[in-house]
């Protein structure tokens, strides 16, 4: 006797039936996937990842790269005992190595190679470097991900139209576009403005906010000659990549980091502090 349950189509078969409608563009494909979600053929996580895969093919590297000002790098002129504390503090597995300037990338250093120091081996940073890979800002993320996989490379430097370094991108950054990142109570919608006023003289500001827009909203007068974004301005002032809850005073404004990860700052609280109040 046949089991009625065994005769039911699987969720994959039902999804295939929906896809037989042959959507003509990405928007229609996403509509089909959302319809499948509404019929409980997909859960929310699966739907989100499928949409992420579709959108990855549309996005260029420039939209997700770690800006130049927020790159954690090692200067080859420093002896290991000087940069080791920095390596431990930032806790990355790979570091771009520069020779005096971020436009002069001489290679990539893997943190695991530093273990040779503790093994008592003679250590010369230049001998440990892996070749640096450069990609244009316009490269599509799906193409970059394919190159990461085929070359077994996990990090690439992003070059601007003049050949300078405008940022860096890792395989984790690309995969995050598919699986998503971890949100917290300080997140706000990507479609909303970069600056949100929480109270009088208090704002939540995305690190990617352009300095000209920030000045207009807060009455600031910061120059954008050296840094284009609020994140770049603050990181330069801190002198390092700040962590959550780190604070700094700049021109009468207190910048407090609300959200940051091991590679970049995402969100600040900015408060105008009266002159009579101690920083």
Q: How far is CA 116 from CA 45, 104, 153, in A?
A: 42, 26, 22
Looking at the structure, tell me whether residues 172 and 232 fall in a common domain.
no
Structural domain includes residue 224: yes
Pair (204, 146) in one structural domain:
no
- What is the tens place of the pLDDT at every residue in 132-153? 999 999 999 989 999 998 888 8
| Same-domain check for residues 70 and 47 | no
Q: Is residue 16 part of a domain?
A: no
Highest mean pLDDT among 13-22, 28-37, 71-80, 184-193: 71-80
Quick: pLDDT tens for 70-129: 888 999 999 888 888 888 877 788 999 999 888 899 999 998 888 887 776 677 888 889
Evaluate if residue 190 carries a pLDDT over 70.
no
Q: Tell me the average pLDDT across 188-193.
A: 54
Residue 277: predicted pLDDT: 45
Residues 173 and 266 in one domain: no
Residues 66 and 52 both lie in one domain: no
According to DSSP, residue 184 is labeled -
Residue 77 within a domain: yes
Of residues 85 and 29, more confidence is placed in 85
Query: Do 173 and 68 fall within a single domain?
Result: yes
Q: Is 173 part of a structural domain of the chain?
A: yes
Q: Which candidate, 146, 105, 152, 145, places its Cα nearest to that of 129?
A: 105
Say how many domains are in the chain. 3
Q: Is the pLDDT of residue 184 over 50?
A: no
Query: Which tens digit of pLDDT belongs to each residue from 250-274?
Result: 988 999 988 876 567 888 999 988 7
Domain assignment of residue 232, yes or no: yes
How far is the CA of 231 from the CAs of 54, 202, 274, in angstroms? 29, 17, 23
Rounded CA-CA distance 247/256 in Å is 4
Q: Is residue 49 part of a domain?
A: yes
Q: Same domain for 161 and 207?
A: no
Pair (49, 99) in one structural domain: no
Domain with 46, as residue range(s), is 23-57
Q: Are residues 94 and 202 in the same domain?
A: no
66 shares its domain with 166: yes
Residue 191 has pLDDT above 50, yes or no: no
133-136's contacts with Cβ under 8 Å and 24+ in sequence apart are: 133/157, 134/158, 134/159, 135/61, 135/159, 135/169, 136/61
In this predicted structure, what is the pLDDT of residue 5?
A: 54
Provide the pLDDT for residue 273.
Answer: 86
Q: Are strands 155-159 and 134-136 parallel, antiparallel or unpaired?
A: parallel
């Amino acid at each position: 006797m046949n089991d009625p349950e065994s005769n039911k189509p699987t969720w994959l078969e039902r999804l295939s039936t929906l896809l037989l409608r042959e959507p003509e563009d990405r928007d229609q494909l996403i509509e089909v996937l959302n319809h499948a979600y509404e019929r409980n053929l997909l859960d929310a996580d699966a739907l989100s990842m499928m949409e992420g895969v579709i959108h990855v093919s549309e996005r260029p590297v420039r939209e997700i790269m770690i800006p130049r000002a927020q790159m954690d790098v090692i200067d080859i002129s420093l002896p290991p005992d000087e940069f080791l504390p920095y390596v431990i503090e930032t806790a990355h597995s790979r570091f771009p190595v520069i020779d005096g300037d971020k436009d002069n990338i001489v290679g990539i250093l893997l943190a695991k190679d530093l273990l040779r120091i503790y093994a008592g081996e003679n250590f010369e940073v230049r001998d440990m470097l892996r070749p640096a890979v450069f990609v244009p800002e316009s490269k599509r993320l799906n193409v970059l991900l394919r190159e990461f996989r085929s070359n077994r490379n996990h990090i690439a430097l992003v070059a601007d139209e003049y050949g300078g370094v405008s940022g860096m991108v890792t395989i984790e950054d690309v995969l995050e576009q598919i699986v998503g990142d971890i949100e917290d109570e300080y997140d706000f919608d990507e479609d909303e403005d970069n600056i949100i006023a929480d109270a009088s003289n208090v704002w939540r500001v995305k690190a990617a906010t352009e300095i000209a827009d920030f000045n207009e909203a807060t009455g600031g007068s910061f120059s954008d000659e050296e840094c284009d974004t609020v994140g770049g301005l603050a990181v330069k002032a801190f002198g390092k990549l700040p962590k959550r809850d780190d604070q700094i005073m700049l021109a009468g404004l207190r910048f407090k980091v609300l959200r940051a990860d091991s590679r970049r700052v995402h969100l600040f609280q900015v408060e105008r502090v009266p002159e009579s109040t101690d920083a």
